[in-house]
Structure 1
C-alpha cells in the first residue's frame, strides 16, 4: 500500500491539472459561443462546456478515453480506422530501427573500446550526430531514399536507428570498459586472446549497462518511427494518425494516438525489463 500511494497521488494530481487546463484553455471558445447566443454561463455550465467541446484546444481525459475506446474496441480490427492497426504499422518500423540501431551501437562500441584510432575519431562524431535535430534531417533522409527507390518501412527504420544507436554506443562503451584493470591483467596472465577476454569478461560485465541503454533506445526508436511518418504523407501509423488529426483540427484524435504511443513505449520497455530479469537469473543473480 505504501508503494502504491505515491503513484496514485501523482496520477491524481496529473489528472486534476489536466482537467483544470482543459477548463482554462477551452473557456474562451465556450464564452464566445454563449455570448453569441445571448446567454451567460454559470461556473458549472462553463466547466461542462469546456469538457464536452467537439474540437477543444485541450481535450479532457474522459474525451481522450472515449476516443481511444471507440478507435480500438469500437472499430473492427481489420479496419484502417482502428488505432491498433496504426500502432502495428509504427511498431514494425520501431522494432526494425531498434534492431538496426542496437546492432550498430554494439559494433561501434566494440571498435571504440578495442581500437584507439577509432576511439579518437569515431566517438566525437557519434556525439556530434545527436546535436542535429531529427526533424531537420528526417525529410532529407526520406527524399534521398525515395529518389533511389527505397520507400515504405526502411526509411522510417533508418530514422529510428539514427535515434536509437546513440544510447547503446554510450552505454556499451562504458560497459565494455567497466572490468577492473586487475581482471584484465589476470586474463593476460592466462594468455587469453582479445576475443576470449571479450566473451568471458567484457561482455558479461557490460550486461548491467546494456539493458538500461536498450530501454532508452527503444523509446527513442519509437519517437523516430513516428517522426519518420510525418514528412512522408503516410496514411498509416501513429504519426499519420496525428498528422490527419492536425489537418482536420481533431485534437481528441491526436491525443488518443499519443496515448497509444505511450502505451506502446511502456510495453516495449517492460519487455526489455523482463529480458533483463531473465538474463540476471541466467547469470546467477536474484533478479
Structure 2
C-alpha cells in the first residue's frame, strides 16, 4: 500500500510538472485541480500510474491476438525461447566445468579464476560483440540471444555445483573407498546425490540470470520481437506505459520460472525422502 501510494504521488508530481511546462509553453491558463485531474490521463506520461500500467497489460495480454506484434504474450514467448535455451546451455556448461574442477586440481587452479573473472565484464559491453561475431558466421536470431543468456546463467551453476560436489560426507567417501569404488561410482552414487540441493539452489539464480541475458541480448540485435525489443521500441517512441508493462511482464515471467524450478526441487526432495528441507 505504501509503495502504491508513493507511486501515485510521484506520478502526480512528475506528470503534473510535465503538464505545467506544456501549459506555460503554450501560454495557457491552468489550475492545480486541472493539473491533478489530467496528471493520471497523460498519453505519454513521464511516470505512468499503476492503473495505466494495468490497463496496458490487460489490453496487450487479453484484448490482443497472440499472433499480433502488439501482443505482450507474443513478445514474452519469444523471450522465453531464448531464456530456456540459454538456461539449458548454461546449466550443461556449468555442470561440466564444475565436474572438471572437482576432479582435476590443475583445472581448478587454471580455470576457476577465469570463471570468476568472466562475471566482472559488463554484459552490455560484450552483448553487441557476441551478436556481431556470430552474425558474421551466419548465426542470427535465437542463437546469439541464447549465448548471451548462457553467459550469465552458467556462473551460478558452476559455483553451486563445485560446492555441492564437494559436500559429500567424508565418512561416506571412506565407506565407498573400502568397497573399492572407482571415481565414476563415487560420482554417481555419492557426489551427484549430495550436490542436488546445491544444484537447485543455483538453478533458481541461473534461470533468473538467463532471463536477464535474453532480454539484454534482444537490445543490440534490433529484434522485432521479445520483451527487450518491446522495451527498446517503447524508449524510442516515448511509450513509457509500454516500457513499464514489459518490465512487469518480465518480472512475472521470472517469478514463474523460479517457481517451476522450486517445484521440481520439491518433487525431487520428496522422492528422496528429504521434503523437510
Band of TM-score, shorter chain: over 0.9
Q: Which residue in 2 is equivalent to 1:73?
A: 62
Q: Which residue in 1 is equivalent to 2:151?
A: 162
CA-based RMSD of the aligned residues comes to: 1.2
Give the Cα separation in 1 of the matches to 2:138 and 2:119.
27
Normalising by structure 2, report the TM-score: 0.96
**Is 1:39–2:26 an aligned residue pair?**
no
Partner residue of 2:48 out of 55, 59, 64: 59
Give the Cα separation in 2 of the matches to 1:154 and 1:267.
23
Q: Which runs of 5+ in 2 are unaligned?
A: none
**Is 1:232–2:195 an aligned residue pair?**
no
Q: Which residue in 1 is equivalent to 2:171?
A: 182
Query: Residues 1-287 of structure 1: matches in 2 within 5 Å?
Result: 12-35=1-24, 36=26, 38-42=28-32, 44-286=33-275
Q: Does the Cα contact within 8 Å between 1:34 and 1:41 map onto a contact in 2?
A: no
1:208-259 Cα distance to aligned partner (Å, 9 max, x none) = 1111110110010001001111001110111111111111110101111111
Give the Cα separation in 2 of the matches to 1:58 and 1:246.
13
- Residue 182 of structure 1: CA displacement? 2.3
- Residue 285 of structure 1: CA displacement? 1.9
SS at match of 1:179: coil
- Residue 77 of structure 1: CA displacement? 1.9
Give the Cα separation in 2 of the matches to 1:277 and 1:176.
20
Give the Cα separation in 2 of the matches to 1:270 and 1:66.
26
Moved more, 177-186 or 256-265: 177-186
Normalising by structure 1, report the TM-score: 0.93
Q: Does the Cα contact within 8 Å between 1:157 and 1:225 map onto a contact in 2?
A: yes
- Residue 37 of structure 1: CA displacement? 5.2
Q: Does the Cα contact within 8 Å between 1:112 and 1:118 map onto a contact in 2?
A: yes
Give the Cα separation in 2 of the matches to 1:255 and 1:131.
28
Runs of 4+ aligned structure 1 residues displaced above 6 Å come to none
